[in-house]
Amino acid sequence: MASITIRNLDDEVKDLLRRLAAENDRSMEEQARVMIRAAVEGQLGPVGRIDQIEKTLRELTGSHGPATPVAAVSSQIPRGTLSGKRILLIVGGGIAAYKALDLIRRLRERDAAVRVVMTAAAQEFVTTLSVGALSADHVFTDLFDRNDEHDVGHIRLSREADLVVVAPATADLMAKLANGHANDLASTVLIATDKPVLMAPAMNPKMWSHPATRRNRATLQKDGVAFVGPAKGEMAESNEAGEGRMAEPLEIVAAIGALLDISPKPLAGRKIIVTSGPTHEPIDPVRYIANRSSGKQGHAIAAALARLGADVRLVSGPVGIADPAGVTTQHVETANEMKDAVERLLPADAAVFVAAVADWRSETSAGEKIKKVAGEGPPALRMVENPDILAGVGHHRKRPGLVVGFAAETQDLVRNAEAKLAKKGADFIVANDVSHEGGVMGGDRNKVRIVSKSGVDEWPEMSKDEVATRLAALIAKRLKTVVV
Ligand X SMILES: Cc1cc2nc3c(=O)[nH]c(=O)nc-3n(C[C@H](O)[C@H](O)[C@H](O)COP(=O)(O)O)c2cc1C
User: How far is 161 from 4, CA to CA, in rounded Å?
Assistant: 42
Q: Which is nearer to ligand X, 74 or 213 (CB)?
A: 213
The one among 13, 50, 72, 95 contacting ligand X by CB under 6 A:
95
Is 172 a residue that touches ligand X (CB under 6 A)? yes
Residue 48-87 contact track with ligand X, rule CB under 6 A, x = bound: ----------------------------------------
Is the preceding peptide bond at 168 cis, omega within 30 degrees of 0? yes
Strand pairing category for 350-353 and 271-276: parallel
Three-state SS at 80 = coil
Catalytic-role residue among 291, 386, 432, 446 = 291
Interface map 237-276 toward ligand X (x if CB under 6 A) = x---------------------------------------
User: To which H or E segment does residue 463 belong?
Assistant: strand 462-463
Q: Which is nearer to ligand X, 207 or 370 (CB)?
A: 207
DSSP string, 245-313: EPPPHHHHHHHHHHHHT-S--TTTT-EEEEEESB--EESSSS-EE-----SHHHHHHHHHHHHTT-EEE
According to DSSP, the residues that pair with 351 across neighbouring strands are 273, 403
> Counting contacts by CB under 6 A, is residue 92 touching ligand X?
yes
- Please tell me what DSSP assigns to residue 321: S
Which residue's CB is nearer to ligand X, number 188 or number 275?
A: 188
Active site residue 291: yes
To ligand X, the closest distance from the beta carbon of 424 in angstroms equals: 56
Output DSSP code: residue 459: P
Alpha helices (H) along 41-85? 50-61, 70-76
Q: Which of 282, 417, 418, 271 is CA-nearest to residue 361?
A: 282
Extended strands (E) in 9-154: 86-91, 113-118, 139-140
**Do the beta carbons of residue 445 and residue 463 sit within 8 Å?**
yes
Binding status of residue 188 toward ligand X by CB under 6 A? no
225 touching ligand X, by CB under 6 A? no
Q: Compare residues 235 and 348 and give the one whose CB is closer to ligand X.
A: 235
Position 170 contacts ligand X (CB under 6 A): yes
Residue 173 touches ligand X, criterion: CB under 6 A: yes
Q: Does 171 bind ligand X (CB under 6 A)?
A: yes
Which residue in the set 22, 89, 101, 202 belongs to the binding site for ligand X (CB under 6 A)?
202
> Which listed residue (69, 93, 278, 295) binds ligand X by CB under 6 A?
93
Chain residues 109-138 in contact with ligand X, contact rule CB under 6 A: 119, 121-122
- Which residues here bind ligand X, judged by CB under 6 A? 92-96, 119, 121-122, 170-173, 202-203, 207, 237
Name the residues annotated as catalytic: 291
